[in-house]
Amino acid sequence: MWFWLALITLLCWSGSDLFSKIGCRDPKDKYSHLKMVIAVGVVMGLHAAYEVFVSGTEISLSIILTYLPVSLLYIFSMALGYIGLRYIELSISSPICNSSGALVALLCLATDGIGSVHPAQLAAVALVCAGVIGLGVVEAREDEDLRAARQEASNYKYSKSFLALALPVAYCLLDALGTFADSRVLERLDEDSANVAYELTFLCAAVFCLIYVLIVKKDRLLPRAELPKYTGAIFETAGQFAYIYAIADQAHVALAAPIISAYCAASVLWSRVFLKEKLSWKHYTMVLLVVIGIVILGVFDA
């Protein structure tokens, strides 16, 4: 059962990447990232209600406030990631965003020392960092004519810009800080209660975004345009649900973790198949370094 749960997690999270990209890429929709936050907040709010009223998960204002700094780091990182999807290929964005695990490892090394860290973990961190930096270099130095040629078959064209790379990198940094803070806060909180606190905070963020988009900016929510966003939000939440049970199987967690951590590779595949994104061999080389590093970290994290 663990294998199918791990595979479902991989498919759901990579599917969330794909549909979030589809929902946020329209350059004419200035508030697509806020609408994506609304969609995720609504779905997470429904799941939180299920956890509280059906599963009986404990929640209180004290728990929400204790977990609030972590929740805000995660929410801001996701919002920046949604903005970034408007400016850069998913094939590049997803591996960069999912490199946060390497930064968490660096933070842990900085605060706790190397200790019993396996050499392979250090090598994995180096691979991820090299891959992310390499992607930045390749993007910055790519000739505009070559960029236009490889994007010819794509549904959307992307121009070279600092913002395009800065946003997924900012996501990576904030997500890493959130994960690092998470590991400290969860020493005092139950995991289920912390997750519900996060989902309820996300719901509050969705309400604020809804008020801003509909009342302040007088924009509209069009069902056809919002459908990919809610599909992505459902995939995100379903993946989180499958992930919890896949990792709970302690006998096979060492096998499940690397399968799940490779979901950004599936995101690159879906972007090539469905979005017609085509990268240069240099891009794919750097992406491969990141994916290999993430998988190695997943193996030893188990």
- Which domain does 8 fall in, by range? 2-301
Phi-psi region of 190 (alpha: psi -120 to 50; beta: other; left: phi over 0): beta
pLDDT digits (tens, 9 = 90+) for 192-224: 898 899 999 999 999 999 999 999 999 999 999
pLDDT at 267: 86
Answer for the pair 242, 5: CB distance below 8 angstroms, yes or no. yes
pLDDT at 128: 79
61-84 vs 32-53: helix crossing angle, rounded to 10:
150
- Higher-confidence residue of 185 and 261: namely 185
Which residue intervals of the chain are DSSP H helices? 2-24, 32-53, 61-84, 90-97, 100-112, 119-141, 144-150, 162-185, 191-211, 223-248, 253-261, 263-273, 281-301
pLDDT digits (tens, 9 = 90+) for 223-258: 999 999 999 999 988 988 788 777 666 566 656 766
Task: Average the pLDDT over 108-116 and give the result.
Answer: 65
Instruction: Count the domains in the chain.
Output: 1
Cα four-point dihedral sign 234, 46, 97, 84: positive
Q: Is the predicted pLDDT of residue 138 greater than 80, yes or no?
A: no
pLDDT digits (tens, 9 = 90+) for 140-197: 676 666 666 656 655 555 555 677 778 888 988 898 888 788 878 888 888 889 889 9
Q: What is the DSSP letter of 85?
A: T
Cα 76 to its chain centre, rounded Å, is: 12
